[in-house]
Amino acid sequence: MSRRLVLALAAGVALALAFEPVALPWLIPFALAARLLAVRGLDARRGWLPGLVFGIGFYFVHIWWMHAVGCGAWLALAGAETLFYAVLGSIDAVLLRGRWWPLWTAVSWTAMEWLRGGWPFGGMPWGRLAFAVIDTPLARMLPYAGLAGVGLLLALMGGLLAWLVVSPGRRRAGVLALAVLCLLVALPNWRPWHPDLVGHADVVAVQGNVPGNGDVLANYRQITQNHIDLTVALGKRIAAGEAPKPSFVLWPENSTAIDPLTDTQTDTGIWQAVRAVAVPVVVGGLPNAPDRTHVLNQGIVWDPVTGAGDRYTKHHPVPFGEYMPLRGLLGKHNFGGLQVLDYDMVAGTRTTPLHVGNLRVADAICFDVAYDDVLDEQVRNGGQLVTVQTSNASFTGTAQIAQQFAITRVRALETGRYAVVAALNGVSGVIAPDGRVLASAPVRTEAVLQRDVGLIRGSTPAVILGSRPGQVAAGLVLVRLAGSGFISWRRRRHTPREH
């Protein structure tokens, strides 16, 4: 067993190295193959242990950036996510005993990623295999197969590699299967997805930076003033003919870390900025909920004539960071460096894009970009352009920023849309539908990015499918496990007992 555990740990660390900041995606199939070899030959009662060790090697390394919030928070989140890989180890121990196990274990991985991305407390999709493929030939598959499909293909590659190791007599068949799979993966590179361009828009992303030690709440007045000043300066350049008039301006999450609708100083400053550019500004703010006891994390369209209008509310507030799950049971506690919360942030449910002037914009706030139910639904409902408002100030100097920007590039490809990112502290940028970075601003700088982007009509096959592949995978695994359990029960029932 010790050799299995060492192999599982090495496989988990190797998978973590496939993601930013190391970004060696070619490690993925080999890491997944090693995980299967560590589990193969065990029963379900023992398969969980190599699965757990694999999860420790992967997730504790992958989200090491969480230590910026607190080591306790890092240990708690990584530990909770590791349990999914432990359960998967037991499931795969059963599947590895049957036929077509390279395919079935790929399906089980896909099901696990879907479940982990939605449960508990809204889930944590960070670490999905597809988030690592942005600069590989496999990236062109994203508009067609989506994140779940690409993850399935990678897991199947891993399964076939493991099959080559344990079935040397069938090596020719395994090599042929791998060759066919690689050919399938390469097909979109000859015929990439071409979005249906219906127009253009000039968009500005403002990165105001966080002064001092990066504490947003301690510097929220200065942060807002930075965004006001940069936008007013842009307005002066527009008036002087030095810059074109944009379609709208995008401010990041927490550009106003207060209720901009009730705070007089903030309201006055926003009006000054909006009137200076004379176009809508999508402001990041924390207005009070209608019940006055909860908070909303919103992107608010501020029109130069009518003021605050259409809004997008963050779908996935961070548990223990932006709201307290099971507050009545847990009360007020400090969870490993996360702040003690006197409020709960209410999750949004909007599925239609923002109306920004005459544009329809699919918006996401910070971690929302990693979830399937945010941008996909807005794009299906007519979103022509993707915007991401994020802060990331707490994670300055960590790999979280690079990982989230890679996720945004993946979403641009999957949705077939241009994506504009406004980050409070970096990285802000403009991304093409093929994942290329057209413009970016480094961290810890003040920047104004202005770029002409295309407006896209229609949905990619991946957007149409949405999260259904993951749901189907979960259903198939349940049926397969139930079938295995029934067969085992029948065998035990009909086995003669010795007297």
Same domain (yes/no): 42, 123: yes
pLDDT above 60: residue 277: yes
SS3 166: helix
Residue 105 lies in a domain: yes
140, 237: one domain = no
Q: What is the pLDDT of residue 380?
A: 97
Residue 30 lies in a domain: yes
| 341 domain residue, yes or no | no
Does 293 have pLDDT greater than 80?
no
Question: Does some domain include residue 297?
Answer: yes
Residue 417 lies in a domain: yes
> What is the structure's pLDDT at 479?
94
Tell me whether residue 2 is exposed, middle or buried, using C-beta atoms within 10 angstroms of its C-beta: 0 to 12, 13 to 18, 19 or more. exposed
218: Cβ–Cβ under 8 A, 6 or more apart, which residues? 212
| Strands ordered across the beta sheet of 298-303 | 307-313, 298-303, 281-285, 248-250, 196-207, 447-457
Q: What's the whole-model pTM score?
A: 0.94
The arithmetic mean of pLDDT across residues 305-318, rounded, is: 95
Nearest to 380 by CA among 433, 417, 427, 421: 417
**Residues 447-493: tens digit of each pLDDT:** 999 999 999 999 999 999 999 999 999 999 999 999 877 667 666 66
The verdict on 253 and 169 lying in the same domain is no
In Å, how far are 53, 233, 234 from 240, measured between CA atoms?
A: 62, 11, 10
Number of Cβ within 10 Å of residue 18's Cβ equals: 24
Give catalytic residues, as residue numbers.
253, 314, 366
**pLDDT of 336 higher than 60:** no
pLDDT at 391: 93
249 and 123 in a common domain: no
Same domain (yes/no): 446, 472:
no
Instruction: Tell me how many domains the chain contains.
Output: 2
pLDDT over 70 at 163, yes or no: yes
How many of the other CB atoms lie within 10 Å of CB of 352? 15
Rounded Cα gap, residues 383 and 459, in angstroms:
9
Percent of the chain with pLDDT over 90: 81
Instruction: Say yes or no: 126 and 253 in one domain.
Output: no
Evaluate whether residue 168 is within a structural domain. yes
What does the pLDDT look like over 195-237, one tens digit per residue? 999 999 999 999 999 987 778 888 999 999 999 999 999 999 9
Q: What is the pLDDT of residue 48?
A: 97
**Residues 385-406 pLDDT 10s:** 999 999 988 898 999 999 999 9
Q: Of 129-143, 156-170, 193-207, 228-242, give the lowest mean pLDDT range.
A: 156-170
Same domain, 72 and 85: yes
Structural domain of 14? 2-192+467-494
Tell me what pLDDT residue 326 has: 66
| 148 and 295, same domain (yes or no) | no
Residue 340 in this model has a pLDDT that exceeds 60: no
**Structure tokens belonging to residue 372:** 């399937």
CATH number of the CATH domain containing 453: 3.60.110.10
DSSP β-bridge partners for residue 197? 456
Residue 340 lies in a domain: no
pLDDT bracket for residue 370 (50, 70, 90): very high
The confidence score (pLDDT) of residue 289 equals 86
Q: Tell me, what's the pLDDT at 321?
A: 77
**What's the mean per-residue pLDDT of the chain?**
93
User: What are the structure tokens assigned to 216, written together?
Assistant: 């947003």
> 328 in a domain, yes or no?
no
